[in-house]
Amino acid sequence: MKSFMDDNFLLTTETARELFQETAKKMPILDYHCHINPEEIAKDRRFENITQVWLGGDHYKWRLMRANGIEEHYITGDASDKEKFLKWAQTLEKAIGNPLFHWSHLELQRYFGYHGVLNTETAEEVWELCNRKLQNESMSARNLIRQSNVNLICTTDDPADDLHWHEMIKEDESFQVQVLPAWRPDKAMNLEKTDYTEYLEKLEKASGMLIRSFRDLKEALKKRMLFFDKMRCRASDHGLEYVMYVPETEENVEKIFAKRLSGKNVTREEELKFKTAFMQFAAEEYSRLGWVMQLHYGCKRDNNTKMYKKIGSDTGYDCISNYTPGSQLADFLNSLEQNNHLPKTILYSLNSNDDEMIETIMGCFQNSDAVGKIQHGSAWWFNDNQTGMKKQLTSFANQSILGNFIGMLTDSRSFLSYPRHEYFRRILCELIGNWVENGEYPYDRKMLESIVKGISYNNAVRYFGFDLEEQ
């Protein structure tokens, strides 16, 4: 019997162990998509207890606690931090096979030096141990980033953001990790939302111009893009229901926008036409600026309306959508390619059934503009587990060139989430190691090392054009 989550956790072959221990393990982390708050980095936030840094805002854990019948009082309610932690321990002990079981124990090992098992019996011990450790300066937000061997972080930022905290981090020479903004214009696109006109007022203030037409909106966004570009932004990100393609004339799109500005609600068809035009405009600008376009889609959000009204979005009530039409995705990319406006693009579908579809569409738009110009993003959200990661990696290998893959990201709000990169790298090395041991790929140490280094770090450095040295 293997020891519990030891140094060779998930690594069953000699080749897998060698690739991870001698190569992947040593590579730095490039976190090109996350939801960390830059203010907490700028202020070098300290955490009073493990619940604050571990459970606060983590809807992955909240979902699991609800599945264990835990009262909401102990999840997002006003129970004490210790009570919430104890309920999480009570939940975790039964979560056999769940990635959160692995992530949680990797985090306890790497940051707190605890190699035991968190459960009901050990919860008090772990609570005290973690809280003592958190009092050390080494456990501040910046130092957690440093000790995780992180070289660069891309946050998620609205076009109306002033990027004040990014500027403060940039000017602080004591912190060497690059923290860059990433452009997330969902609020500017989602005209069906009830607060859309209120958001436009914020964008007007940020851009210094009135927005009375779709043309005005585009000009305001261009101004903000230039500002973001000066702040070293290299990537955009969109949270889409699906990648739609319902083309319409410029004149009619203006009419749709005017209708919404007048206070009237738009129809579903009008919404899709506007969003298509918005995404085409945005993609053209990304291509001009040299930004990477990231498309996250395939999620049906806020399904429990009772709880949405009570505690809001991003609280654990989203699910996978099975309406992700590949034909519209292909047509959208094609509409950009026809005018040489297709930027480097990363496609993330929450529906793992789309893996093969994504890879086949990728192949239609690859060219010499960039190595792996169109990417299939890493297994996302409900799929960043062993099964989902292996499936995504295998599908990528089957249909494209896995050696060009840009690898893992955290997609997290927590400073303790970086072991997810270790988890991914272990799974990657196990997969490659098995192929080698089975005679499906030669034991070419130099080439294998190059592939693992590339997927772990180097490919993303090249792909985004970050100011980093390859390893």
In angstroms and rounded to an integer, the radius of gyration of the C-alpha atoms of the chain is 23
* Interval 150-203: pLDDT, tens: 999 999 999 999 999 999 999 999 999 999 999 999 999 999 999 999 999 999
Give yes or no on whether 46-139 and 143-464 have one common fold. no
Identify the CATH assignment for 143-464 out of 3.40.640.10, 3.20.20.140, 3.40.50.2300, 3.20.20.100.
3.20.20.140
What's residue 168's pLDDT?
Answer: 98
Q: Which two tokens stand for residue 414?
A: 């927590």
- Average pLDDT value over all residues in the chain: 97
The whole-model pTM stands at 0.97
**Is the CB of residue 130 less than 8 Å from the CB of residue 105?**
no
Domain definitions of the chain by residue range: 46-139, 143-464
The helix/strand/coil state of 375 is strand
Domain 46-139 class in CATH: mainly alpha
Q: Cα separation of 344 and 374, whole Å?
A: 6
> Is the per-residue pLDDT at 413 higher than 90?
no
Region 236-264: mean pLDDT is 98
Q: Cα separation of 151 and 154, whole Å?
A: 11
**Is the CB of residue 9 less than 8 Å from the CB of residue 21?**
no
Give Cβ neighbours of residue 350 (< 8 Å, ≥ 6 apart): 296, 297, 298, 299, 320, 321, 380, 381, 382, 383
Q: How many CB atoms lie within 10 A of CB 21?
A: 14
Phi first, then psi: give them for residue 270, nearest 5 degrees.
-65, -40
Q: Which of 237, 242, 269, 236 is nearest to 253 (CA)?
A: 269
Instruction: Please give the share of the chain, as a percent, with pLDDT higher than 90.
Output: 99
